[in-house]
A and B are shown apart, each in its own frame.
Chain A
Amino acid sequence: MALIEVENLQKSFSRPVRRAGRLGALRGLLAREYVTMEAVAGVSFTLEAGAMAGYLGPNGAGKSTTMKMLTGILVPSGGRIEVGGLVPHRQRVAHVRRIGVVFGQRTQLWWDLPTIESFELLRHVYKIPMARYRENLKAFSELLELGPFLDTPVRQLSLGQRMRADLAAALLHDPAILFLDEPTIGLDVVARERIRGFLSEINRERGVTVILTTHDLSDVERLCQRVVLIDHGRVIYDGGLDQLKTRHGRWRTLVVDLADASCAPLVEMADLVRQEGPRAWLRFDRERTSAAALIAEVAARYPVRDLTVEEPEIEAIVRGIYERGVGVI
């Protein structure tokens, strides 16, 4: 049996409809009308222990909603979830004891207490043995460089510091699974990299199963062998990242900064999709054209100041799949 089993999972929200006009508001108070929206509309997947998976999709796809059901925060409207043999929302306390949760958008720590005191309180909440707590705290302090701000109240931490503190807090009790909803949101490149390094380390060294959502493809690329892609609350791809990219992500963009803003770089192997002053975007099919050949061609024909190859955004891949369907390549 897999560690996480999700079958035909559903969640719908009902929202009161606002009606226009003063009378509308009054009528709305008396007899509310509701619209139902299916945030998660029949998601199924399984995840083995020790895996590291990306749960991806565009805004509003239902990622956070799924994560909240997996962590026992929301009660599903339908379907089945089992995590390590437990049904999250029914056996919530037993379930959350074995998992760690980080929501990038907000902290789980005590807002007005120093970081270290939040950790201390968590030690009590999770009844972590003192020796183990010390050991973990020491390890995480080193890996995440928490030392400088352990005594700072959480509300005064920078986003990057807070995220690191939240990560450490989610792992102090040695959870088997870590659920991360956008753990790198709003962070700079250095901070992202540090968090990625940390995640891959705890997955490798401690065997923590990790499931994460992100809008940053490089997170996925660095961390996840496995991706589950959803859109409009449905799974549209489930499998290896490599297959996904080779099958659906063959378009790359070469961004060219020209020395001379007046010319348009036109080459046969790529399409000029956009140009703004001296900067031009050239889209190419990497199965037909190598980036090296394209760069050589452009550099030979135009006065180039700088070049970068943009990886396809996960959003673009998702959009592509959604528009063309999974089967079509």
Chain B
Amino acid sequence: MIQLYLTLIGARVRSQMQYRVSFWLELLGFLLVTGLEFATIAILLGRFGSVGGWGLAEVALLYGLTSFAFSLAEMVGRGFDSPFERMMVMGAFDGVLARPLGAFFQVLTADFQLRRLGRTAQAALVLAYAFSQIPIVWTPDRLLLLPVTVLSGFLIYLALIVIGATFCFWTTTTPEVINVFTFGGEQMASYPLSIYQEWLRAVFLFLIPVGFSNYPAALYLLGRADPHGLPAWSAWLAPLAAAVFFGAALRFWRFGVSTYASTGS
């Protein structure tokens, strides 16, 4: 399966790389545009000094973690965006179901945007800045938590993309409302979860767990306590939250596929 994934993705990337210059320009574009996103946060913090007791370097840690995860999800999951939407409008999803592979797998391999590494690079730079400013004691568990958190965040964002796409089975086009969750989730996770109202915190930890893409992990790395009593070990719940959420997204997707009505003719 992984072999096949790489083969199919390889074909995509190769055809994208045919236009080498535009590839690098787009990659650079993503780096700069998402760089502006962080710049906005930095300017805001420059004015107020800190948000919820978090200084710029600490917010950079939050932002870097979630942006890194988000960039991976966008790179891998873009097949669920416009390619899938196109499939639904043009009835090409028929072809997907006529092949001996899972529908999820095939839509996933319908696109792979390597140029989204622009955002990954930006996130890495922001993280590097954060680590240079914050004296984190790098114990093995903290080192391990880093990839665990990023991967969990990646799965959570990917699940969000899949859930948004699934609505296509009933509306044919991805409703904009899902962007509220993906982009909105990414934006809101750029600030410490502690500043939000209780119900919002609950939503973003237990319903749409984007909070797990960074907040508990950041607390753990900083050795800081949550003012609302979120225990330190909750950082290790991220993979669980991600797995449950991704599983739910997958089930929702399967349900969508089973109601697929195709198009006429």
Contacts and interface: CB of A to CB of B under 8 A. Distances in A.
Given A75-B258, A124-B4, A124-B7, A106 B90 contact: yes
A321 to B, nearest CB: 23
Contacts of B258: 75
Contacts of A110: 11
Contacts of B33: none
B207 interface: no
B85 to A, nearest CB: 15
A152 interface: no
A105 interface: yes
Nearest to A96: B100
Interface in B1-28: 3-4, 7-8, 11, 15
Interface of B is mostly: loop
A113 B15 contact: yes
Contacts, number: 63
Contact of A64 (B101, B260, B264): B264
A193 interface: no
A125 interface: yes
Contacts of B100: 93-94, 96-97, 125-126
Nearest to A11: B261
Contact of A112 (B15, B102, B260): B15
A71 B102 contact: no
Contacts of A92: 97
B97 A73 contact: yes
A112 B17 CA distance: 13
Contact of B92 (A71, A106, A125): A106
A108 B11 CA distance: 16
A220 interface: no
B98 A121 contact: no
Interface in A4-52: 13
B115 to A, nearest CB: 16
Contacts of A99: 98
B4 A125 contact: yes
Given A106-B91, A106-B92, A71 B262 contact: no
Nearest to A153: B15
Contacts of A74: 260-262
Contacts of A68: 94, 262
B187 to A, nearest CB: 28
Interface string A135-171: 0000000000000000000000000000000000000
B95 A108 contact: yes
A72 interface: yes
Contact of B98 (A75, A105, A108): A108
A93 B150 CA distance: 33
Nearest to B101: A125
Interface string B78-117: 0000000000001110110111111000000000000000
Given A72-B97, A106-B90, A110-B11, 9 more contacts: A13-B261, A71-B98, A74-B262, A75-B260, A94-B100, A96-B98, A105-B91, A125-B99, A125-B101
Ranked nearest first, the 7 interchain pairs of A and B with the lowest CB-CB distance are A97-B100, A101-B98, A108-B95, A73-B97, A93-B100, A96-B100, A124-B7
